[in-house]
Amino acid sequence: MRYDSAGYGLVPETRGLVAAARRAFEGRPRVRAQLDECARRLDQPLRVALAGQLKAGKSTLLNALVGQDIAPTDATECTRLVTWYRNGAAPRVTAYSGDGARADVVVRRGRGADGLPGAHGLTFDLSGLRWNSGAPREVDRLEVEWPSAELAQTTIIDTPGISSLSRDVSARTSRLLTPQGGDAALPSADAVVYLLRRLDAADVDFLERIGSGADRSGADATRPNPAGPLGVIGVVSRADEIGAGRIDALHSARDVAARFSGELERTGLCQSVIPVAGLLAFAAATLRQREYAAFEALATVPVDELSAALLSADRFARPDLPLPVPPELRAHLAGRFGLFGIRLAVTLIRLGVRDADSLARELTQRSGLDELRTVLDVQFAQRADELKAHSALTALARILATNPGTSADTLLPRVRTLLADVHSFAELRLLGHLRSDELPLPTTDLNELHRLIGGAGVATHLRLGLSAHTDIATQREEALAAVHKWRSRARHPLADQSTANACLTAARSAEGLLEILHAPPTTPFARISLPRTGNTQS
């Protein structure tokens, strides 16, 4: 496997393979266009799809991650479509038909009775579209361009619910993430955030389709179900509802997430599962001074009296309740923050939070969004080059296999080798395992293992636990020592299979660091090959 400073990125070699294929197919425009798309993918932002069942909270989570109200969350026609969110110089929404025709979409912003933005925020009006060519068409997908630092780094794809009563609606998500058949069926997403409210057969079935497509076993990448996204993270969405909006709701959600994580990790379907209260996270990201003032007023109400008022959203908004906040504003708070968010905000103010900015930070942290951002950064953003290279190699393997008979045939063995040798995925699986279970190793060793496989970041000094200013020679010494240590741990006679595989993964990560630092080990056990059995980390 090739390593580089981006953290096991394969981009340089992938570029070379794609370029060689483009030369071989110079006289075949259709195939050349597919290869051009492979090349472009390497230069574009990472593509992350949000998926899950109907009403899982995908659009709300998207708004929270971006920190702006850019995705409609009400049950309109646009939530039945695949919608791409990209960075742009100015807000713009465009509808595309299956044949490439486009039309501008009118964006409407609702407002509540008190003059604040309403709970439903934006709506994309798909009526009366004026297409740039020909007669009216059926909308195939939407593309939203929006100025956003988050979208500059990551293109987010919001997908329809997989359990929609309409087969056509559910099929749109399946085609995007688990394409079937045809040499044009190339993967559209590099990674997936899958939202769970429960863990039922529909969730497991869909995750298995993504998992079997991602070719985690290193089998032939050109089999009928093409390789899917390499990274998959689970989110227990609407986590505050698990505890019925109680102040300890997220504790209950964390227990549920741990159970889901254990079940999914054992099958290799998901690297991590994080509980997130998406509604609270978005409301915290866009908290207004007037809302803070309302919470401050509610904090003066006796605890028992306010608790009785918060038995339900309808009761909380009743005009006959003697609360120091107008009923219209109370209804707005319930729609924006939920009962859990209101209880938490009032409690934090009673405990000493004294301004809107501080409250927003506290609510964001407690919503689970900060933890999710950390996991997304470590497992997706810092590994963006490898995830994109995996998508491009997957597409290239399928193109070469379905268009034989040229000089490009000689490229296919190397492409398949690269797809089969994805050490970064072994690291991702192990990171997920460490979140849900603890290996029988001393705490200091667990911390070192977590760091070495990229749990604190993929830069060489972060993996080695050193200062950013540490000289290369010292880093080499530390990396070589790590190779020896973790190979020795893996050979320990009392180590069970799971622990041995984890230690082998750490050793291989250390070897990768030596390659980055231009000092490959020279010991007799310099290179290792992880066993490819059903219960390994590779």
Residues 6+ apart with CB under 8 A from 238: 56, 57, 197, 277, 278, 279
Percent over 70 (pLDDT), the chain = 81
Please give the C-alpha separations between residue 536 and each of 43, 152, 386, 429, 496, in angstroms, as whole numbers. 33, 36, 21, 10, 11
Give the pLDDT confidence of 364-390 residue by residue, as tens digits: 998 989 989 988 888 888 888 888 888
Q: C-alpha angle 20/22/28, rounded to 5°?
A: 140
**What integer pLDDT is reported at residue 239 of this predicted model?**
75
Position 83 pLDDT exceeds 50 = yes
DSSP 352-367: T--SHHHHHHHHHHHH
> Which of 139, 156, 173 is the last residue before a domain boundary?
156
Helix (H) or strand (E) holding 293: helix 289-298
3-state SS, 187-211, equals CCCCEEEEEECCCCHHHHHHHHHHH
Rounded to the nearest 5°, which phi and psi values hold at 444?
Answer: -65, -40
pLDDT at 143 over 80: yes
At 274 the pLDDT is 85
Strands 102-104 and 92-97 turn out to be antiparallel
| 525 located within any domain | no
Asked whether 298 and 346 are in contact (CB, 8 A), the reply is: yes
Largest CA distance in the chain: 81
Q: Is residue 482 part of a domain?
A: yes
> What's the pLDDT score for residue 532?
34
Q: What is the 8-class DSSP label of residue 45?
A: P
Give tens-digit pLDDT for 224-281: 334 567 778 888 887 777 665 566 666 777 777 777 777 776 566 677 788 888 899 9
Nearest to 139 by CA among 89, 76, 184: 76
Q: Per-residue pLDDT averaged across 332-348, rounded?
A: 93
229 lies in some domain = no
* 359 part of a folded domain: yes
Domain boundary among 367, 397, 418: 367
Bigger pLDDT: 267 or 91? 91
Looking at 106, 140, 156, the residue that finishes a domain is 156
Whether 316 maps to a domain, the answer reads: yes
Average per-residue pLDDT for the chain: 82
Structural domain contains residue 170: no
181 or 395, greater pLDDT: 395
pLDDT digits (tens, 9 = 90+) for 185-239: 566 888 899 998 878 888 888 888 776 554 443 334 333 334 567 778 888 887 7
The count of domains in the chain is 3
Reported as a single tens digit per residue, the pLDDT across 4-23 is 434 344 788 899 999 999 99
Whether 501 maps to a domain, the answer reads yes
Cα torsion angle, 79, 83, 86, 90, sign: negative
- Within a domain: 37: no
| 481 pLDDT above the threshold of 90 | yes
Of 390, 389, 398, 387, nearest to 221 by C-alpha is 398
Residue 134: domain span: 70-116+124-156
Task: For residues 38 and 32, give the distance between their C-alpha atoms in angstroms, rounded to a whole number.
Answer: 10
Dist CA 112 CA 128 (whole Å) = 26
**First-to-final CA distance of the chain:** 13
Does the pLDDT at position 420 exceed 60? Answer: yes
Owner of token pair 């006959």: 320
